Amino acid sequence: MSVDLERVSGVMELLVRHSGRPVVVRDYENGRVREVPPEIAAASDGLLPVFLVAGEAIWLEATRGGFNLSVEPDERALVGYRVTAIGADGFTSVMLSMMEAVAQAERPEGIVVEELGMVWERAMERVNASAQDEGGF
């Protein structure tokens, strides 16, 4: 079973567009915060891979299962990778997990892309700690 990538992208774009919270990246060289258009934030060759990986970490922590993402290098993609397929069992689990990742990455200036990396890192730390407590993953 797989989840329709175009549907995930389209719904993610709508969520970002209607959330009232911009997706932003921090420019550490000059201290500026730059807004990312919703269509780029939700594109499979835009920021969607970042949102999906952060959401997958949330799902992994909750269920010990992933989304079976297919991600390929793409030098023309915004982050150097493009999502080509989502092999998860359900659309709802993918979207709810990404929405939780977004909620954890929100700051006063908006949904901060760099914070999604921290969402992933913290979730993976909890997964690893839990696995050690249980004697292995």
Q: Where are the domains of the chain?
A: 5-126
What is the rounded average pLDDT for all residues in the chain? Answer: 92
Q: Tell me the whole-structure pTM to 2 decimals.
A: 0.90
Q: Mean pLDDT across the stretch 18-43?
A: 93
Task: Decide: helix, strand or coil at residue 38.
Answer: helix
Cβ contact 12:43 at 8 Å: no
Nearest to 89 by CA among 125, 56, 135: 56
